[in-house]
Structure 1
Amino acid sequence: MTRHHLLLTFALAGAAFSQAPAPAIPTYRDLKYPPLRQIKIPEPVTFTLPNGMKVFLLEDHELPVFNGLALVRTGNLFDPPDKRGVSSIMADVLRSGGTRAKTGDQIDEELENLAAAVESSMGETNASISFSGLSESTGTILRIFHDVLTGPEFRQEKIDLTITQTHSGIDRRNDEPQGIAEREIASVVYGRDNSYGWTVEHQHLARIQREDLQAFYRRYYFPKNIQLAVYGDFSAAAMRSMLEALFADWNVEQPAVPPFPAVNVKPAPGVFLAEKSDVTQTFFTMGMLGGTLRDPDYPALEVATNILGSGFTSRLMSRIRTKMGLAYSIGAGWGAAYDHPGIFRIVGSTKSASTADAVLAARTEVEKMRTTEVTEQELRTAKDTVLNSFVFFFDSPSKTLSRLMNYEYYGYPKDFLFEYQKKVAAVTRADVLRVFRERVNPANLSIVAVGNPQNFGKPLTGVGKVEKIDLSIPK
């Protein structure tokens, strides 16, 4: 074949190929996903020690490590009004203050040599002592955990150090504007006269003595008031034997712990301004009392607030950031707690000049959720987002055991999450409209703004009556 004929052949072939229809390129919309498989939760070994302590054990032999967590039924909600902060000081010094036999520093050194940890902390409705380390050091780490839990010494020098550090934290509490907004919205919504909304001041710390820490510890740290979970590389039978022997001589008794304080507040609508002259942005939080996880409306409220303010496709983000260009980030969350109402929040930040516009736009989006049904696409996306997050609740033994332990601690059924999953899947557009109409009234929103009013483009009085927040720190 001549060179001319060869070129002609290629040209004809190319022409024929160019005339052939190009294969259709599939789009992401054509992708089909099978339904999520039902999550199978491993069943922990549960039993109660002779002294009344409830124990959960879950074996996991993937790595030669083990972890544990003791939950104590107490919390900073039990702080006396004149000695606010005593529970947190106690929890810190419970660990740092050492035991009768060893100082906290000696325990630090021993744990460091074992690549292990034992820590203590105080929350709102629970206290915890956690431990972790290599399975080859199980016996030693459990002994240290036992000694810290059952025989804290509360050495005075560590009490003084923790109180000094807490004083320093109070002095710095107005450094971060976002932190101010979060603190003040809780005080406004719950009220400043109760343990849900009050603030720890210098005067409260000044009243705390070693005897107060010891008294708080004795009241709440006893076996029948504690749940212990251990997971990792061990035999459940062997671990049970170790724990039974370790706690055989700890038989302290105390009266049953009373319920946590009830939340009895009324809406506190208004605009609350915390002036901060050293910022170029306004950080704002809009909030009102939310609900509990037991609330029959919780599944629909979670889906609804996802549509309102979760992710880049949410209404708040689409309008206030994308269309209006007023905020880099803004979002919303329903705020449900296990045993008391949380806070429904809208949280955002904006340039000082656009403060009023951003707040009004957010309130408008709340009102829209109450007036017309969301679209079918919005509903489907929000439900998928909530449902797809379930896999991350049980993607590790620690999360699995922690969730089951919390259900036991707060009196929830073991299948709570799966019943919640079914209820989320059943949420309709009408449900979303109904719960926002019944539960989220823009007229009841408390708005806390932290910023420099000298740079506001429009006065906040255009949003509502403004009450100034006193950021001064009493000595």
Structure 2
Amino acid sequence: MALDRSQAPLSAPVTSIDLVKAESFILTNGVPVHVVRVAHQPVVKIELILKACKWNEPQNGVSYFASKMLSEGTRKRTAAQIADYIDGLGAFLDISSGIDQSSVSIYCLTKHFHPMVELLSELLYDSVFPQAELEIQKNIKTQSLKVDLEKNNVVASKIFREKLFGKNHPYGQTIAEKDIPSINSPLLQYYHQFNMLPEIELILSGDVPSDLKSLQKCFGSKSSTRPTPPIHIMPDPQKGQFVEERKEAVQSSLRIGCRMFTKRHPDYIPMMIVNEILGGYFGSRLMKNIREEKGFTYGISSSVVSLKHQGYWIIGTDVKKEYTQQTLDEIYKELHILCTVPVPADELETVRNYMAGSLLASINTPFALADKFKGVYFYGLNYKFYQDFLSTLYQITPEDIMRYSQKYFVRENLTEVIVGGMA
């Protein structure tokens, strides 16, 4: 029977979701291990979560370089030998330095699981932070910063976070070129011993073997104590418009938004939906107006960003200088409409279908399922969050959307950053 392509396939709302859940246990020294076991392919991801981050670094930039240097030499191997060993087993190493936590991940074939666990332990416990390799990393970062500071969009995002959280707060502070020269190997070794080693967690995903004895051998026999982290005071956000003129710039980068809340807040899921309508996907109102109808930009988007201790909402775009004020006017027009006019039923239905479909598309690999676990676990939530998301998605009304918009999209409470200028 031939397929009738003139008829759309049957569809139904995604009203529930059943995720493969992480199984957790504790090593004898208290290190938590979380396993998302899905054996689609003989591949596994071993992720080491380091609670050490910007919140407890002795000076700006230390947590970044300490994380980057973990693969740059141990007591047993040089950086080149580490890289050769990983390549020889067809594995891949990824190191990420974040604000709230850092991670070291190894992707490998299941048959190489135990050698990679041993290597990961070596990188964590036996790193020596060689000064020669550190100088290379410092030079790379210095050059990267110089390039980034020429980019309006990078500078706009940097200023925006500074205005929201303060220049000296972990959420508003960024590495500057002046911070780099004083960073040295002894400083990183101190930070490593007293901040990186004491508090770690392991997340395994994919075709995880049943024999996990190597975890106890490599990570379960170590012990260390962590000093009390410093207290960081978050100042009130700076509201209003902030402009950095760049006469040579052809474009302006715009950032508009405000501080909000974490995933634990009852308004977080509703505001995800409100944001999606405004600027969260390609068919959003901001895209239709400012890209498709006005032609001011190639792209504009808005996001609700949740960090561990705080969150924020942000609109971002790049436009020609001469369109800067017109773009601002259109953005505030769209915010006003959301606050005063109910969302049409067909638009809300489109957003519901899109967000539900995106959730399903985001859980199609074992590693994505591990990300979904991290997306709730590290915020003090559980898997019920995803069912609550679906329930709210289908229950929220146009009147609810107006109410949330009126609550949070108050122009006097917004921070507006423009880098480039107003033509």
Q: Do the structures match in fold with TM over 0.5?
A: yes
**2:34–2:204 contact (8 Å) kept in structure 1:** yes
CA distance in 2, matches of 1:107, 1:133: 15
Equivalences for 1:162-311 in 2 at 5 Å?
A: 162-222=137-197, 225-236=199-210, 238=211, 240-248=212-220, 250-255=221-226, 258=229, 261=232, 264-311=234-281
Closer, same or farther: CA 432–265 of 1 in aligned 2, 3 Å: farther
> Does the 8 Å CA contact 1:76/1:122 hold for their aligned counterparts?
no
Contact 2:250-2:420 at 8 Å conserved across structures: yes
Pair 1:304–1:259, CA change in 2 (3 A): farther
> 1:414 maps to what in 2?
383
Residues 443 and 89 of structure 1: CA distance in aligned 2, closer, same or farther (over 3 Å)? same
Please name the residue that 1:462 is paired with: none
Distance in 2 of aligned mates of 1:375 and 1:342:
29
Tell me, yes or no, if the aligned pair for 1:367 and 1:442 is still in contact at 8 Å: no
Q: Name the residue aligned to 2:302.
A: 332
- Percent identical: 23
Tell me the CA shift for residue 258 of structure 1: 4.9
Instruction: Give the distance between the partners of 1:311 and 1:118, measured in 2 at CA.
Output: 31
The SS at the match of 1:206 is: coil
Q: 1:95 touches 1:119 (CA, 8 Å); kept in 2?
A: no
Deviation sequence 1:221-276 (CA, Å, 0-9, x none): 336x211112233432x1x222223335x3222147659846x3434222222223
Deviation at 1:325, TM superposition (A): 3.0
Residue 78 in structure 1 maps to residue 78 in structure 2: no
How far the C-alpha of 1:27 sits from its partner, in A, is 7.3
Instruction: Tell me if 1:435 matches 2:404.
Output: yes
Code of the aligned partner of 2:200 = I
Q: CA deviation at 1:406?
A: 4.4
- Look up the equivalent residue of 1:92 and give its one-letter code: K
| Alpha-carbon shift at residue 452 of structure 1 (Å) | 5.0
Residue 425 of structure 1 is matched in structure 2 by 394
Residue equivalent to 1:95: 71
Q: Quote the RMSD (CA, aligned, Å).
A: 2.4
Structure 2 stretches of 5 or more lacking a match? none
Paired AA for residue 13 in structure 2: P
Measured in 2, the distance between the counterparts of 1:259 and 1:306 equals 37
Distance 1:408 1:452, change over 3 A: closer
**Greater Cα shift, 390-399 or 315-324:** 315-324
Q: Does 1:354 align with 2:329?
A: no
How far off its partner does 1:417 sit? 1.6
Distance 1:208 1:55, change over 3 A: same
- The one-letter amino acid of 1:317's match is M
Aligned residues: 419
Question: For residue 223 of structure 2, what is the amino acid of its counterpart?
Answer: V
Asked if 2 retains the 8 angstrom alpha-carbon contact of 1:305 and 1:333, the reply is: yes
Q: Which residue of 1 aligns with 2:292?
A: 322
List runs of 5+ in structure 1 lacking aligned partners: 1-24, 457-475
Q: CA 1:134 to 1:421, structure 2 compared with 1: closer, same or farther past 3 Å?
A: same
Instruction: Report the Cα distance in structure 2 between the residues aligned to 1:371 and 1:258, rounded to whole angstroms.
Output: 45
Q: Deviations over 1:402-431 (max 9, x none)?
A: 322443333212322212221222211111
C-alpha contact 2:39 2:207 (8 A) present in aligned 1: yes
Find the aligned partners of 2:287 and 2:93 in 1 and give their Cα distance. Answer: 42
Helix, strand or coil for the counterpart of 1:128? strand
Cα displacement string for residues 143-202 of structure 1 (whole angstroms, at most 9, x for unaligned residues) = 111111121111111122212222222222222222122222111222223221123223
Q: Which amino acid aligns with 2:295?
A: G
Deviations 1:203-223 (A, max 9, x none): 322222222211211122336
Alpha-carbon separation, structure 2, partners of 1:341 and 1:354: 33
Structure 2 residue aligned with 1:36: 14
Identify if the C-alpha distance between structure 1 residues 227 and 259 changes in structure 2 by more than 3 Å, giving closer, same or farther: farther
Change (3 A) 1:316 1:410: closer
Normalized against structure 2, the TM-score is what?
A: 0.91
Say yes or no: does 1:143 pair with 2:118.
yes
Contact 1:281 1:351 in 2 (8 A): yes
Contact 2:121–2:219 under 8 Å retained in 1 = yes
Which whole-Å CA distance do the structure 2 matches of 1:416 and 1:261 have between them?
Answer: 29
Q: Secondary structure at the match of 1:185?
A: helix
For normalisation by structure 1, the TM-score amounts to 0.82
Please tell me whether Structure 1 or Structure 2 has the larger radius of gyration of its CA atoms.
1
Within the candidate set 119, 127, 131, 1:152 is matched to 127
Shift of 1:99: 1.2
